[in-house]
Amino acid sequence: MTETATLHDAPWLTAGPVARVLGLLNAGGEEARVVGGAVRNALLGLPPGDIDIATTAVPEEVVRRAQAARIRSVPTGIAYGTVTLVVESQPFEVTTLREDVETFGRKATVAFGRDWARDAERRDFTINGLSVDAAGTVHDHVGGLADLARRWVRFIGDPDRRIAEDFLRILRFFRFSAAYGEGHLDREGYLACVRGRDGLSLLSAERIGMEMRKLLVADRALDAAVAMRDGGLLLPILIGVAYPATLAAMTEIERRRAGAPDAMLRLGALAVAVTEDARRVGARLKLTNAEIRRLDSMGHRWWRLAGMDEATARRRLYRLGPARFRDRAMLAWARAGQGADAGYWSNLLALPDRWPIPTFPLKAADFIARGFAEGPALGHVLSLAEDAWLAAGFPDAPETLTTIADQAAARFARDHKL
């Protein structure tokens, strides 16, 4: 049975690029609607995000109409009925209604159709199976309106079948539950995910990494992580031990500091205790080199940040820079456990704001004047001088800097028997 509702206060639907695309396709006996996440988000009062459109028109007709209207079309997935239309620099994936003839993992044999209910039934979750037409009428063929009202993430039809069609839906189940759900996870869906967990090995690292980034910044990421651990799902994803308690502490620290959720900070809390963990997780999730370096820095002797005096903290900040210093301090605080001194850690995290990092005042010219030629020796003596400058508390008095330079040059000469 089809349920309907009215979408109010959605100007993006009735004007601008979306209205133009719908108007283009709603003619000559064809119909088009916005489908999926944009409808779900609009009903929840959230920004629509990416806007996908479904239509009864076949791909060739979509392209023909776009060309006639001088709209750029890109055949991004034309074998599966998808054409991307670009209107005012905004891309819209337009997909012809489909029915699955045969499914096997990510690959499927599909036939184009004109039945909106059949098209909705092949999607993943009921809250993603909604569509809205140009007049603002929301069409629900799968019970999505009721599930959205109670913030319930539920597979459409048989959960095992939906998962077998695409094992990434296991991660999407937890991600959408974390982002939009309330209360307990849907039991049938959860058990189906546990039964299908071996299918995660068939997914590419890139796709797993992309889902985990999104999952970790969701409101209920901790609940999802605990459920995944209990169901034996985190081990094949992370290939290592997971630390939900540290993730819980990290989310609380973010809340205390009024900071936005940070996927890499949360991933570090969940999976990184030492630098070896960072490299393993980075490879498993196909993280970027910058993300791996960030996790690696977080995990590098984070425990040494506990109980530092101000002078030591300043030297650590100088060496790490503000971003890496804050990351490592956040992880160290999260791992400090029950009874952590919030005042100490808050003060440490505020150090980059209250103490501008000074620039090392000695230059290569200072040592060239002392007889050093350009090359490795010059770099070495500069490092010696910088270490001495840090140990002295970042002095800027000329006479002190002269002494530091002289002593560094003398030490180098002594060590190398010059």
Q: What per-residue string of b and e applies to 356-377 under the rule 16 or more CB within 10 Å gives b?
A: eeeeebbeeebbeeeebeeeee
Q: Are 125 and 247 members of one domain?
A: no
Which SS3 state, helix, strand or coil, does residue 53 take? Answer: strand
End-to-end CA distance of the chain: 91
Burial class (CB in 10 A: 0-12, 13-18, 19+), 110: middle
Angle between helices 221-230 and 205-216 (to 10 degrees): 130
Choose one of 216, 233, 250: the last residue of a domain.
Answer: 233
Mean pLDDT in order along the chain per 10 residues (418 residues): 89 93 95 96 94 96 95 89 95 90 56 92 96 96 97 97 97 98 96 97 96 97 97 95 96 93 98 96 97 97 95 97 98 92 96 97 96 94 97 97 96 82
Residue 70, C-beta contacts closer than 8 angstroms, at least 6 positions apart: none
Identify the pLDDT of residue 219: 95
Q: What per-residue string of b and e applies to 73-104 under the rule 16 or more CB within 10 Å gives b?
A: beeeebeebbbbbebeeeebbbbbbbeeeebe
Identify the pLDDT of residue 102: 58
Domain CATH number, residue 214: 1.10.3090.10
Residue with the two structure tokens 């060309």:
67
Choose one of 208, 233, 258: the last residue of a domain.
Answer: 233
Is the CB of residue 173 less than 8 Å from the CB of residue 211?
no
In which domain, by residue range, is 158 found? 152-233
Q: Are 185 and 220 members of one domain?
A: yes
Q: Are 91 and 21 members of one domain?
A: yes
Q: Are 207 and 249 members of one domain?
A: no
Q: Are 102 and 138 members of one domain?
A: yes
Q: Is the dihedral of CA 365, 367, 370, 371 positive or negative?
A: negative
Q: How many domains does the chain have?
A: 4
Q: Are 143 and 99 members of one domain?
A: yes
Q: Are 304 and 266 members of one domain?
A: yes
Domain CATH number, residue 106: 3.30.460.10
Angle between helices 187-195 and 168-180 (to 10 degrees): 150
Identify the pLDDT of residue 254: 96
Q: Are 338 and 383 members of one domain?
A: no
DSSP string, 54-119: EESS-HHHHHHHHHHTT-EEEEEEGGGTEEEEEETTEEEEEEE-EEEEEEETTEEEEEE---HHHH
Rounded CA separation 104/54 (Å) = 23
Choose one of 106, 123, 149: the last residue of a domain.
Answer: 149
Cα-only R_g, the chain: 28
Eight-state DSSP code of residue 371: T
Q: Are 16 and 32 members of one domain?
A: yes
Q: Are 294 and 322 members of one domain?
A: yes
**Element housing 211 (H / E):** helix 205-216
Is the CB of residue 231 less than 8 Å from the CB of residue 190?
yes
Angle between helices 289-299 and 322-335 (to 10 degrees): 50
Q: Are 83 and 143 members of one domain?
A: yes
Rounded CA separation 183/309 (Å) = 44
Q: What per-residue string of b and e applies to 248-258 under the rule 16 or more CB within 10 Å gives b?
A: bbbbebbeeee
Q: Are 145 and 29 members of one domain?
A: yes
